[in-house]
Amino acid sequence: MTIDKDVFIAPSATLRADEGTPFYIGPNSNIQDGSILHGLANERIRVGNKRYSIYIGKGVSVAHGAIIHGPCFVGDNVFVGFKAIVFNASVGRGSYISMDAIVMNGVRIAPDRFVPPGAHIDTQAKADKLGKVPKDSREFAREVRRVNREFPPSYHALFGPHQCSCGISYDRKRLVK
């Protein structure tokens, strides 16, 4: 599994690299609470000259409760909405998968496409009919990425790197000597 720089993985996210591996998560991406990443054994997608179970590009947001199930490619700056499922699919750069939507069955979502809430995109014909991402959805995805970049320092302050038995976190380097 490769997790690039400045990636936020929420404490209750699940990255199951027990069957399908490897995973790649690109820089400045965020995997939010309750999300699951899992891949099928022996199933891969090709990105460049490498093969992955799950490939997530840079600047991707995987919202609360979403499932990314490999083999799967998620391009740069994609937003995967709350409780959405992406399974055995390729999602093009800048696309927006709305809440409760399902993208599956080997479909290829073109760049900058909008999957409406609750949609089931399970054929290439359905994928090819998707419209462009609306401006308000693009702005929402941008704001989610911004907010999630603020979480790692806050979690660090709450949870580590060291914790007193009373529950207060501290950094040994900053203790008064």
Q: Which residues are catalytic?
A: 19
DSSP secondary structure string, 30-65? EE-TT-EEEE-TT--EEETTEEESEEE-TT-EE-TT
Does an H or E element contain 23, and which? strand 23-25
DSSP secondary structure string, 85-144? EEEEEEE-TT-EE-TT-EE-TT-EEPTTBEE-TT-EE-SHHHHHT--BPPHHHHHHHHHH
DSSP classification of residue 21 = -
Question: With 0-12 CB in 10 A as exposed, 13-18 as middle and 19+ as buried, what is 132?
Answer: middle
Which residue carries 């740069």 as its tokens? 76
Neighbours of 157 (CB within 10 A): 11
Q: Which of 112, 109, 127, 28 is nearest to 72 (CA)?
A: 109
